[in-house]
């Protein structure tokens, strides 16, 4: 994707995620792959008030191209892009229900509804590591094949072939986290139905 279009898409995504209370204040970070690297949200900025020119351009070697200070989490974004050629957008947020599960170290169940199974699949719990650390990168790398993950005592991350897909997954992840907390220990869909849905 060319840089001009990517900047607008990334800016629009941040605004929508902010309005849905998925991004809060300066927390979280969002990125999108471009033809020659990727763009990521700047460090310490409110995601609901960014402009296309605020996004920080980075090379696939992890170097800033041009100006700006990238989010401290740029390293795990870079790692996921290098590991998953089909990933073109990454969303990392601290939404309240996902973060509640993260604080409780409670694995999210996605077998309660068809949408959870289809859009998310299995959602691993990534052990807590200091934000921005190489340890966090290594732990996230262990789960790179998952479309979504909960980060213990931290938040959540989703990835997608498009920005729309990555954002939809984050919205669905937060819905499923809320549902998990509301319904408690209930019986989910049968294993047969889960298998059928995953083949769709």
Cα 191 off chain centre by:
27
CB count, 10 Å around CB of 31?
33
Cα 52 off chain centre by:
20
CB count, 10 Å around CB of 129?
19
Active-site residue list: 73
Determine the 3-state secondary structure of 26 from DSSP.
Answer: coil
Determine the 3-state secondary structure of 71 from DSSP.
Answer: coil
Q: Is residue 61 classed exposed, middle or buried when 0-12, 13-18 and 19+ CB atoms within 10 A define those classes?
A: exposed
HEC letters along 112-162 = CCHHHHHHCCCCCEECCCCCCCHHHHHHHHCCCCCCEEEECCCEEEEEECC
Asked if 149 contacts 123 with a C-beta cutoff of 8 angstroms, the reply is yes
């Amino acid at each position: 994707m060319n840089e001009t279009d990517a900047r607008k898409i990334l800016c629009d995504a941040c605004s929508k995620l902010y309005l849905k209370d998925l991004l809060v204040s300066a927390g979280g970070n969002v990125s999108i792959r471009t033809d020659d690297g990727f763009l990521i949200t700047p460090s310490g900025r409110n995601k609901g008030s960014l402009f296309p020119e605020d996004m920080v351009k980075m090379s696939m070697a992890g170097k800033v191209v041009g100006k700006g200070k990238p989010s401290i989490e740029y390293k795990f974004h870079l790692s996921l892009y290098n590991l998953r050629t089909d990933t073109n957008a990454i969303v990392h947020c601290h939404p309240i229900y996902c973060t509640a599960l993260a604080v409780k170290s409670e694995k999210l169940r996605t077998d309660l509804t068809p949408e959870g199974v289809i859009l998310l699949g299995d959602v691993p719990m990534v052990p807590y590591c200091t934000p921005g650390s190489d340890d966090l990168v290594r732990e996230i790398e262990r789960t790179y094949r998952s479309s979504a993950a909960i980060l213990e005592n931290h938040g959540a991350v989703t990835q997608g072939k498009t920005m729309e897909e990555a954002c939809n997954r984050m919205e669905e992840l937060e819905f499923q986290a809320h549902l998990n907390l509301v319904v408690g220990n209930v019986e989910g869909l049968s294993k047969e139905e889960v298998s059928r849905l995953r083949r769709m």
